[in-house]
Structure formats: structure tokens, C-alpha cells
């Protein structure tokens, strides 16, 4: 094994196919998209190099409400970190304690992850329907009919209404990652804590959570980046409406490229999303690293 690790040719043979695939599937499209963002191009005819004019239009002129869409994506990211991840952590802590039906509940919570996003979108459209939707019917039957609403058609509730199915779909994904990390913690540590008289809450906060911080870091990155590039559920439920209330960068990018045929301008949006995801990933890793240094 050591001979292989010290053999540069062997390392190259094993690494090169993966690097080639990664370059073709990820790096090359990013470079091409960045180049397109510097053009005035409709995707078919002749293109014109215009430099950073597309980026100036995005952030200075802001004619299509792109900044508003970025703000919406930030709200989704904050809600994901504040609501989605804590819920997933609580579920993981409960299941990892070995409760009755542990395997059943683990499967049930993960099922939404493997359901088609289109199916989930259609399901919640029925739930939110102002006439026969389950949510309004429940509110009416418990005497809260004054709170009935056209949830997806109201500018005040549309964004949060789209967040609920996002939480429901991916909470099981984060839960499973955290659950696997908790299960990997040695039982000897918990046994020693029990002997010292530690409660379940103390063990969770002082032992489990600190030991699974690498997974919490990964889940935070996934939640934030996923919010920044969210598209499918929002597109199905509201298509960014009403009046751009639930618009996110991906939905504006889609309509710009495929409806308005502004490939250069749309590519500038996609480049911004890539840079945004990269920057916040680095920030999250830096924050977790600083916490580790302080704790040490």
C-alpha cells in the first residue's frame, strides 16, 4: 500500500479519470458560463462582447428585481439553518437513542427525500388551495377561519409557503447524516458519562453535538448552498410570483435564458450563484474552524 502511495504514476492513473470527469462536468461549464456572461447573446445569432455590462445591469440598474431575489434566497438560507437543521438534529438525537421502531421512523423521515419534487409540489399546491386545500379546511374547522388565505397567491405568505415543503423534503436527508454521525460515537463515552451522573440532555449538548460538528458543518453547507440554488419547488408552486414575492436567482435566471432568450444576461446570474455558493461555503468552513480553535 505504501509503495502505491509513493508511486506518482500510480496516483496519476487513479486520480486522472476522476479529475477529467470533474473538469468536463463541472469546471468547463463554469468557464463557458462565465464567458457567456460577458456577451450580449440570444443563444442563436451572433454574440457581442460587452464586458461586465451584464453584471452592472444586475446590481446597479436592477431592472428585473434580481436583488430582491437574492434577498429571498438569503431568507430561505437563514430559515434552513434556524429551523430545518435544529429539527433534523432533534430527530437524529431521538432516533439514535434506540427507541422502539427506530428503523421504521428512520425510513419514514427519509421517504420525502426520494419522492419526485414535482409530486411534492403538486401535493402542496393541493394543501394550499384556497378553496378546497387541507390547510384552510383545518383552520376553518378549528374556528380559525379568519386566518384562511390564498397562501401561494399572497405576497406576504408566498415565500414562507414555499419554504415549508423544502423543509419537509430535506429534513430527513440532514437527519440521516446526523443520525449516522451520532451512531458512530463510541458507547463507552456515554457509559462513562452515565456513571458520572450526566443526564440525556447533558450528554447530547456536551458530548454528542461537539463530536459530530464535522457533519453539522457539512449539513450547514448543504442547507445554505441548497437555499441559494433552490429552483424546482419554487418554480412549481409559484414560478417566482406573485409579483416576484417568492422569486429567487434561479427562477429569474431560468426565465431570462429560456423565455427572454438573453443568454449572456442569464449567464451572469448563474455565475453570481456559483460565486455566492463558493464564498459562503468558505465562510462556513472558516466559522467552524475558528470555533474549533477557540474550544481547543
Q: Which residue(s) pair with 255 in the sheet?
A: none
pTM metric for this prediction: 0.90
Mean pLDDT of 157-163: 94
The span from the CA of 58 to the CA of 37, in Å, is 11
Mean pLDDT of 62-81: 90
* pLDDT for residue 241 is more than 80: yes
* pLDDT for residue 292 is more than 70: no
Instruction: Kindly list the structural domains of the chain, giving each domain's residue range(s) and its CATH number in brackets, ordered by start.
Output: 64-295 (1.10.3720.10)
* pLDDT for residue 86 is more than 90: yes
pLDDT higher at 79 or 13: 79
Mean pLDDT of the chain: 90
Q: What angle do CA 228, 230, 231 make, to 5 degrees?
A: 140
* pLDDT for residue 1 is more than 60: no
Provide the pLDDT for residue 9: 81
Among residues of the chain, what percentage have pLDDT more than 90? 73
The span from the CA of 209 to the CA of 20, in Å, is 38
Provide the pLDDT for residue 296: 58
Q: Which of the four pLDDT bands, split at 50, 70 and 90, describes residue 98?
A: confident
Give residues with Cβ within 8 angstroms of 263, minimum separation 6.
Answer: 36, 39, 41, 42, 43, 257
For 75-91, give one letter per residue: b (16+ CB within 10 A) or e.
Answer: ebbebbbeebbeebbeb
Per 3-state DSSP, what percentage of the chain is helix, strand, and coil (rounded to 5)? 75, 0, 25
* pLDDT for residue 61 is more than 90: no
Q: Which residue(s) pair with 181 in the sheet?
A: none
The span from the CA of 226 to the CA of 166, in Å, is 10
Amino acid at each position: 500500500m505504501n509503495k502505491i502511495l509513493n508511486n506518482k504514476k500510480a496516483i496519476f492513473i487513479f486520480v486522472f479519470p476522476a479529475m477529467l470527469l470533474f473538469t468536463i462536468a463541472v469546471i468547463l461549464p463554469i468557464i463557458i458560463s462565465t464567458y457567456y456572461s460577458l456577451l450580449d447573446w440570444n443563444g442563436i445569432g451572433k454574440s457581442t462582447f460587452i464586458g461586465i455590462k451584464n453584471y452592472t445591469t444586475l446590481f446597479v440598474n436592477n431592472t428585473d428585481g434580481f436583488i430582491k431575489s437574492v434577498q429571498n434566497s438569503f431568507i430561505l438560507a437563514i430559515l434552513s439553518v434556524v429551523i430545518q437543521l435544529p429539527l433534523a438534529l432533534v430527530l437524529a438525537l431521538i432516533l439514535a437513542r434506540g427507541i422502539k421502531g427506530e428503523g421504521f421512523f428512520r425510513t419514514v423521515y427519509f421517504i420525502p427525500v426520494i419522492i419526485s419534487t414535482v409530486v411534492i409540489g403538486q401535493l402542496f399546491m393541493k394543501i394550499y388551495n384556497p378553496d378546497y386545500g387541507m390547510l384552510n379546511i383545518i383552520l376553518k374547522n378549528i374556528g380559525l377561519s379568519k386566518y384562511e388565505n390564498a397562501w401561494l397567491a399572497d405576497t406576504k405568505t408566498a415565500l414562507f409557503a414555499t419554504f415549508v415543503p423544502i423543509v419537509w423534503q430535506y429534513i430527513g436527508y440532514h437527519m440521516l447524516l446526523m443520525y449516522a454521525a451520532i451512531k458512530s460515537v463510541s458507547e463507552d463515552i456515554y457509559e462513562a458519562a452515565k456513571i458520572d451522573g450526566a443526564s440525556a440532555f447533558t450528554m447530547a449538548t456536551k458530548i454528542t453535538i461537539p463530536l459530530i460538528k464535522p457533519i453539522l458543518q457539512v449539513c450547514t453547507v448543504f442547507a445554505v448552498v441548497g437555499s441559494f440554488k433552490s429552483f424546482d419547488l419554487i418554480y412549481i408552486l409559484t414560478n417566482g410570483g406573485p409579483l416576484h414575492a417568492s422569486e429567487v436567482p434561479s427562477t429569474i435566471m431560468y426565465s431570462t435564458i429560456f423565455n427572454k432568450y438573453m443568454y449572456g444576461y442569464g449567464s451572469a446570474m448563474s455565475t453570481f450563484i456559483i460565486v455566492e455558493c463558493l464564498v459562503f461555503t468558505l465562510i462556513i468552513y472558516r466559522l467552524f474552524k475558528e470555533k474549533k480553535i477557540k474550544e481547543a
